Chain A
Amino acid sequence: MNRSTRKLSRRQLLGSMTALGVAAGLGARPRAAAAQGAGSLASLGPEEAVDATIRRLFGGRALKDGAAQIKLDLPLIAENGAVVPVTVEVTPPPAAQVKAIYVISDKNRRPLNAKFVFNPGPAAPIIGTNLRLGESTDVRVIAELADGTLLQAKREVKVTVGGCGG
């Protein structure tokens, strides 16, 4: 998609978009159009407590203790919250398949860091990535099996505040 096409689409949509997502309490100030696109606040979803995230992702399904099946590598102390390496290896029960791995940081404004989905096939339930943590928090990993079972492991990560002397 070239730049000019993108600009035109935005202008065309602007009229309909101003009606979306009007926040209460802004008074008489004329409201700027809401941002468009997959990275807009509307697309990002709400800032929410982790319980709300869990409810939204999994309904009321029980989170079973997965400490035995989930090998979770996380530092006890992170030097900063910008880059916190995590590695997850799931050994599912025999004949069970891991459909997805969720990584969630409880105290982040939007707790879901990422969702890793494995199609039936050669992909193994092993992932690693670098997380952004807003502050010291529990990081939980939830493995979803093909039959819907949810296994959870979690660890507290303390983030060192930056700068000399802290």
Chain B
Amino acid sequence: MADIGNVRIRVPGSVKAGDVVRARVLVIHPMEIVERRGGRPVDKNYHFINRVVVTYLGREIAQFETTQSISENPFFAFAFKATEPGQLKVTFLDTHGGKFEGSADIKVT
């Protein structure tokens, strides 16, 4: 079984400085949806990713506020201008205090 918080990230092998790089990331997560009983929502602390932080070269470049209306095992594609070689990191934060990270090296020629 793939564990919650297992992250995969894909970036191009190498890019030229100034290129807009497209990255893909997936994290295993249940993204629990609201249960209904007798037509009413059940009150509990639903387990889902509610925040995603993207950093490049140690600086935050984007943040996503996410909800239960994002599919289970959330997938995100995003893009950024590559300026110098360095690390791209994606951090997922969930409603139960979970924090999951994936990173990839951006190779800039």
Residues of A within 8 A of B (CB): 1, 6, 32, 34-41, 43-44, 47, 82-84, 87, 105, 108-110, 112-119, 121-124, 126-133
Contacts and interface: CB of A to CB of B under 8 A. Distances in A.
B70 A131 contact: yes
Contacts of B103: none
Contact of A130 (B50, B74, B78, B82): B74
A108 B74 CA distance: 18
A119 B65 contact: no
Contacts of A83: 71
Interface of B: 20, 22, 24, 31-34, 41, 43-48, 50, 54, 56, 59-72, 74-83, 94-97
A128 B62 contact: no
A6 B97 contact: yes
Contact of B69 (A41, A43, A114, A126): A114
A38 B45 contact: yes
Among the interface residues A83, A114, A115, which one has the most CB atoms of the partner chain B within 10 A?
A: A114
Contacts of A116: 62, 64, 78
B85 to A, nearest CB: 13
A126 B78 contact: yes
A131 B81 CA distance: 26
Contacts of A1: 97
Contacts of A123: 54, 61-62, 78-80
Nearest to A34: B43
A133 B69 CA distance: 7
Among the interface residues B48, B61, B62, B75, which one has the most CB atoms of the partner chain A within 10 A?
A: B62
B96 A39 contact: yes
B4 to A, nearest CB: 14
B56 A122 contact: yes
